Amino acid sequence: MSDGWQSIHLDELDSIPVSESLVWHPVRRRLGIAAFGINAYTSQKVGGHVVEEHDELGGGAGGHKELYVVVRGRATFTVGGESRDAPAGTFVFVSDPALSRSAVAEEEGTLVLAVGGERGRAYEVSPWESYFAAIPSLKAERWDEAITLIEQGLRDRPGHPALLYNLACAESRGARPVEALTHLQEAVRGEAKYLAAARTDPDFDPIRREPGFPA
């Protein structure tokens, strides 16, 4: 690293599996970028997602306009129900945050770079980043480490329901029942859908019989 600039190869980035097939390679966090969102994605198998199905209006999203670049390999993008072949070198720009988008790898080693931001607003880190970053700690049952990572996200986005919910999950597993109940209640007050989610989420089995668990 040099003053004012740095470089890193794609293959040097962390590889964090975040679903059955999708692997997240955190670019923004690794380089400390604060002006815009940028991340890379691969799949663990041909036919697996390199962009998970989502829109930019959901609980963990940032409301971004997103540009996707197929850096290597080949993908099939589906945006708003329309599919398109995307070999290496293809740019896919989704200007409408409400449009559902996804992409699957058609070749081994396919890598997609995603760049995003919200028009007319200073960049804010998307809420999902901190709980994606916590996934390795959660899988290894390093609860305190996972809690710290999600709390970092809450410092960027205070009171965000998705972050509060995921924090409560980690606290429940990590034998912190009081904190888990408090943050779960805050998440439900912020977004009612988390009430139904908590009823069946196994992460809350350790505190389900505690007084104050959302009914």
- Topology at the third CATH level for domain 128-207: 1.25.40
- As a whole number of angstroms, the distance between CA 59 and CA 162 comes to 6
pLDDT for res 128: 87
Query: Which residues in the chain are classed under CATH 1.25.40.10?
Result: 128-207
- pLDDT for residue 178: 96
CATH architecture of the domain covering 10-117: Sandwich (2.60)
Residue 160 DSSP one-character state: -
Question: Which tens digit of pLDDT belongs to each residue from 130-142?
Answer: 989 999 999 999 9
Dihedral sign computed on CA atoms, order 186, 191, 192, 195: negative
The reported pLDDT for the residue numbered 121 is 86
Specify the DSSP element, H or E, that contains 200: helix 193-200
- Interval 27-50: pLDDT, tens: 999 999 999 999 999 999 999 999
Distance CA 79, CA 122 (A): 26
Tokens of 14: 């962390």
Long-range contacts of 136-140 (CB under 8 A, 24+ apart): 136/16, 138/170, 138/173
- Find out whether 50 and 75 touch, Cβ atoms under 8 Å: yes
On whether the CB atoms of residues 169 and 157 are closer than 8 A, the answer is no
For the purposes of burial, counting CB atoms within 10 Å of the CB of 110, is it exposed (0-12), middle (13-18) or buried (19 or more)? Answer: buried
| Region(s) of the chain under CATH 2.60.120.10 | 10-117
pLDDT confidence of residue 60: 64
pLDDT tens across 91-100, in order? 999 999 999 9
Percentage of residues of the chain with pLDDT beyond 90? 82
Q: What is the pLDDT of residues 47-85, one digit of tens each?
A: 999 999 999 887 666 788 999 999 999 999 999 999 999
Answer yes or no: is pLDDT of 2 > 70: no
Quote the pLDDT of residue 66. Answer: 95
Is there a contact between 65 and 95 (Cβ–Cβ < 8 Å)?
yes
